[in-house]
Amino acid sequence: MNPAFFKAFPALLLTAAALHAEPADELIAKGDVYYINLQAAEALKYYLPAEKLEPNNVRLLVRISREYRHLMTDATKPEEMLRLGGTAVGYAKRAVVFDPEDPEAQLAVAISYGKLQPLEGNREKIEALYIIKNAAEKAIKLDPRSDLGWHVLGRWHKGLADLNAFQRAMAQVAYGKQLPDSTYEEAVSCFEKAIELNPNRLMHYIELGRVYAQMGRTDDARRFIAKGLAMRNTEKDDPETKREGRELLARLH
């Protein structure tokens, strides 16, 4: 055993003890600094000890769910992404149990299921459709000015509108459930509302551009995607959103 380890071990213990000795609100504030800098693993080093002190703190559970989604974005292996996504869903669901009237908790459920859905089996994907829509609509009802709530609902409408009649029929035959109906027009309305509420999120513009591309409104698609691409990255998923936007823009003609 390396002798240096024994010298460092008391310091490690003191560090861990100091974290647990701090009040939860101080730990949360320190974690927030790392969240702002998009350092999810570092943020969790403060959020998770705070959770032990305040396990029923809804806003803290929402924060932890968000950071596990951010770790999911950085993961490269599907099994790791699935594990992290499941953890994010678990924390979001706990937050809703403690306060079903909290719009951020409902939004955390919708976003977490949305991130996890592509990695799941078809049956789970169909079940998630209902959970995502229900949680997003609750979030908007509780906070009509939630631009993220409108964004999630817009993505939901786009995803359903993308399915053709054959895919819908196959889903009903295989799983005994008729998929909900939706239209691109409903998706457009949601993304326009999100932009109205918060014009500073680039993902609203790029996602609206993607809907217009599906509708054959190429000029509008180019305009909104270009607008999003010109904006500064501020959120964890912005680089990936821009990559998808650039790829679509290159295909439009």
The domain limits of the chain are: 24-141, 144-253
The tens digit of pLDDT for each residue in 17-60 reads: 555 557 999 999 999 999 999 999 999 999 999 999 999 999 99
Q: CATH number of the domain at 144-253, please?
A: 1.25.40.10
**pLDDT for 137 beyond 60:** yes
The tens digit of pLDDT for each residue in 114-125 reads: 999 989 888 888
Q: CATH number of the domain at 24-141, please?
A: 1.25.40.10
pLDDT number for residue 120: 86
**pLDDT for 69 beyond 70:** yes
Fold match flag (24-141 vs 144-253): yes
Query: b/e per residue, 63-77, with b = 16+ CB within 10 A?
Result: bbbbbbbbbbeeeee
The tens digit of pLDDT for each residue in 143-198 reads: 999 999 999 999 999 999 988 777 777 777 666 677 888 999 999 999 999 999 99
Of residues 2 and 99, the one with the higher pLDDT is: 99
**pLDDT for 230 beyond 80:** yes
Q: Mean pLDDT score of the chain, rounded to an integer?
A: 91
**pLDDT for 8 beyond 60:** no
pLDDT number for residue 108: 98
**pLDDT for 12 beyond 60:** no
pLDDT number for residue 81: 96
Average confidence (pLDDT) over 92-99? 98
**pLDDT for 206 beyond 90:** yes
Average confidence (pLDDT) over 83-111? 98
**pLDDT for 10 beyond 90:** no
Percent of the chain with pLDDT over 70: 90
Q: What is the pTM of this model?
A: 0.87
